[in-house]
Structure 1
Amino acid sequence: MTLPIALQLWSVKEDAELDFFGTLEKVAKMGYDGVEFAGYYGKSASEIKAVLNKLGLIVAGAHVSADQILHRIDDVIAFETELGNKYIVCPWANFNSLEEWKEFAEQLQHSGKKLSEAGLSLVYHNHAHELVTVEDEYILDLLLNSIPSNLLKAEVDTYWLEFAGVDAVEYMSKYKGRTPLIHVKDMAQSKEESTEIGNGIMNIKGIVQQAKLNSVEWLIVEQEAFTKPQLVSVEIGLNNLKKILAEA
């Protein structure tokens, strides 16, 4: 069993800001199967879809701000439906109290219901701060346990789990069938930043094996710190991930 690999375009945001469509072309030539968006650089859904079709790239998902998801969900639905994307990912949220998190969960559920009615899925992407324990429960678990699985899924960011001291493979196993998207990101020896997949200390093979058990739809490469040009690094990561995937 193999899995398609997408690139989270935040990894190459400087290049995308200069030449969005040119960057997509370079990503396609590397051999990525798809992309996960982190902004559209002023382009319309129809323009982007035409370029993706030409390049043979599939939309794996899109990071859409919490503000848009909570307050402009109809606009999100219209744009993402035209683009051909079914996974709307909330990339970041942070609050100072448990009560605020619970209120956020209620709002997310409302948006998740609207997305579900439109044939789309709401997904939450974690960082490290959601792995803080409140009342004997991780904040991330609170979100996932308080919202029905058909209205909120998880995009597990394996790097941030490990950064928070949580075993990524073990955590993924808790949510089999609820993790359509997985962020694969390797950790540098310093344990302070990310690096190219395969050049760090993460158990990438174990993550890939668990991804298969979880019925994951997309492995998504992401990198946030670089010692080489961004496009060079994400190509190294892709090639290393393909080798690991073939062995897993």
Structure 2
Amino acid sequence: MTKPKIGVQLWSIQDACKEDFAAALQTVKQAGYDGVEFAGYYDHSAAEIAALLTQLSLEAAASHIPYEALLPDKIQETLAFEQAIGNTRIVIPYASFDTVEKWQDFAQSLKDIAQQVQAAGMALYYHNHAHEFTEIPDRSMIDTLLKDNPSLRLEADLYWLAFADVDVLPWLTAHRETVGLVHIKDMQAQPKESTEINRGILPIKDYVEAAKALDLPWLIVEQEAFQAYGPLEAIAIDYLQLKEIVEEVHQ
């Protein structure tokens, strides 16, 4: 099994990105990360983004792209931008509907989008939160999205799976054919929110071992709440903690 690269979802340091995007990426590189998952480009062109990645020797692990940017009037422009920055994984970060029928309509629209993304040499992913497992009683909307759509992949956010009381490891095994990326973050018990890796209650080593079994190319760090450290400090800690676990699991 190939040792996975470690990336960071830039939403974690969004304020730093807004203030000085190039400096934020420099800090990510200095922390040790191999690449980034974008959550917006802060008014930078594709050429500028590509130049920054080259300059810093960072890879584009993936990009979170709003569904609206993948609709017919926008998708070709979006795909061209992603190709120009060297990204091959487009991740829809969020969707929410109050009926099964609306979820099914959304799933149907993803089939055409996934085919267009694939034709451009990329893959379409959906990123879960907790509500896909809780909004519609006794139904997983993730499975609704995957039904009859073999081109759609999953970016499994393991924190949100656990938050929704999903048994994470068996779920990963059951969805091994479609999970292509994972988000790694830890959870503190009270209040129930994300925290630095190894400061919380989630079995991060078990998650890394599961990712190894799936031979995933990236582990993507994300942190959405901060207690003792600011975001830039926190993601540096996250990298060091996760790197140590990866080295242990892959020794």
Instruction: Please confirm whether the aligned pair reaches a TM-score higher than 0.5, indicating the same fold.
Output: yes
Contact 2:198 2:241 in 1 (8 A): yes
Residue 68 to residue 153, structure 1, CA distance change in 2 (3 Å): same
Unaligned runs of 5+ in 2: none
Q: CA deviation at 1:233?
A: 0.3
Q: Which runs of 4+ in 1 moved over 3 A?
A: 133-137
TM-superposed deviation, 1:191: 5.4
- Once residues 181 and 247 of structure 1 are traced to their aligned partners in structure 2, the CA distance between those partners, rounded to angstroms, is 20
Q: Quote the residue 1:117 is aligned against.
A: 119
Equivalence for 1:214: 214
Counting aligned pairs with the same residue, the percent is: 42
Distance 1:178 1:216 in 2: 11
Corresponding position of 1:78? 80
CA contact (8 A) 2:17 2:24 kept: yes
Q: CA deviation at 1:146?
A: 3.4
Change (3 A) 1:170 1:212: same
- In the aligned structure 2, how far is the partner of 1:102 from the partner of 1:115? 20
C-alpha distance 112-165 of structure 1, shift in aligned 2 (>3 A)? same
Contact kept? 1:176, 1:215, Cα under 8 Å: no
Which residue of structure 1 aligns with residue 58 of structure 2? Answer: 57
Distance 1:191 1:208, change over 3 A: farther
Residue 8 of structure 1 corresponds to which residue in structure 2? 9
1:39 corresponding residue in structure 2: 40
The residue type paired with residue 144 of structure 2 is L
How far off is 1:122 after superposition? 0.3
Structure 1 unaligned regions, length at least 5: none
Rounded Cα–Cα distance in structure 2 between residues aligned with 1:215 and 1:191: 33
Decide whether aligned partners of structure 1 residues 68 and 30 sit closer, same or farther in structure 2, where only a CA change above 3 A counts: same
**Structure 2 partner of 1:224:** 224
Cα 1:48–1:137 shift into 2, 3 Å: same
Count the aligned residue pairs.
Answer: 246
Amino acid at match of 2:120: A
Measure, in 2, the Cα distance between the counterparts of 1:115 and 1:96. Answer: 27
Tell me the residue number matched to 2:98: 96
Deviation at 1:134, TM superposition (A): 4.7
Q: In the aligned structure 2, how far is the partner of 1:133 from the partner of 1:233?
A: 31
SS of the equivalent of 1:146 reads coil
In the alignment, the residues of structure 1 paired with residue 191 and residue 89 of structure 2 have an alpha-carbon distance, to the nearest angstrom, of 30
RMSD across aligned C-alpha pairs, in angstroms? 1.3
Residue 200 of structure 1: SS of its match in structure 2? coil
Larger displacement relative to structure 2 (171-180 or 200-209): 171-180
Which amino acid letter does the alignment assign opposite residue 163 of structure 1? Answer: F
| TM-score, reference length from structure 2 | 0.95
Using the size of structure 1 for normalisation, the TM-score is 0.96
- How much does 1:246 deviate? 1.6
Give the SS at the match of 1:180. Answer: strand
Alignment correspondent of 1:200? 200
List per-residue Cα deviations over 1:19-53 (Å, max 9, x = no partner): 00100001001110000000000001110111111
Q: Does the Cα contact within 8 Å between 2:13 and 2:231 map onto a contact in 1?
A: yes
- 1:229 shift after superposition: 1.0
- CA shift, 1:145, in A, is 2.4
Residues 9 and 133 of structure 1: is their aligned pair in 2 closer, same or farther, counting only changes over 3 Å? closer
Matched, 1:188 2:226: no
- Alpha-carbon distance between aligned partners in 1 of 2:138 and 2:199, rounded to the nearest angstrom: 35
**How far 1:196 moved relative to its partner?**
0.5
Rounded to whole Å, the distance in 2 between the matches of 1:131 and 1:205 is 24
Amino acid at match of 1:111: I
